[in-house]
Amino acid sequence: MASWKGRISMNMRELRFLFTNETAGSQGIRNFINNNYSELKLLNPRFPFLVRDGDNVESSILASYDFGKEYRIVVENRTEEDVERALKKLTLLGEEQEKDPGYTMTDLDVVQKYPDDPSNPVLYDSVGGRVVNVGHGPPENWT
């Protein structure tokens, strides 16, 4: 699991995957979404990942940052690995972007990193990327 994937929610405001559902040129982005969406959502549970398919759409990833900045990388006719590299580039680009000082997360995004042993939960904070000691397990409203 790449550490940059857990930083998506810290570096962007929104991420859109655009593609057509039937063309061969969109196969790489479709494969990436099918194989990686669950992990991305687990690491960034409250982050808006928008998956949009449509007719005559050029396969691309569109990242939105603070102050209305958006960057797009076209991934038409690219492999799943190319799509992952493009997403990593957009994520790391977000670290260089100016952040809105008025924007703060109101909720701490916490996910259980190793759910195999519920008696000893190890929790991962996808906002700050640090391990959180919760004492007696997850909160009561854990979903």
**Residue range 53-95, pLDDT digits in tens:** 999 899 999 999 998 899 999 999 999 999 999 999 999 999 8
User: Using CA atoms, how far apart are residues 109 and 128, in angstroms rounded to an integer?
Assistant: 9
Lowest average pLDDT, out of 39-53, 62-76, 126-140, goes to 126-140
| Closest among 69, 51, 42 to 15, alpha carbons compared | 51
What is the percent of the chain where pLDDT is above 90? 50
Q: Is the pLDDT of residue 99 over 90?
A: no
Radius of gyration in angstroms for the set of CA atoms belonging to the chain, rounded to a whole number? 17
Q: How confident is the model at residue 98 (pLDDT cuts 50, 70, 90)?
A: confident
* Confidence grade of residue 134 (pLDDT, cut at 50, 70, 90): very low
73 strand-pairing partners? 61
The answer to whether the beta carbons of residues 19 and 61 sit under 8 Å apart is no
pTM over 0.75: no
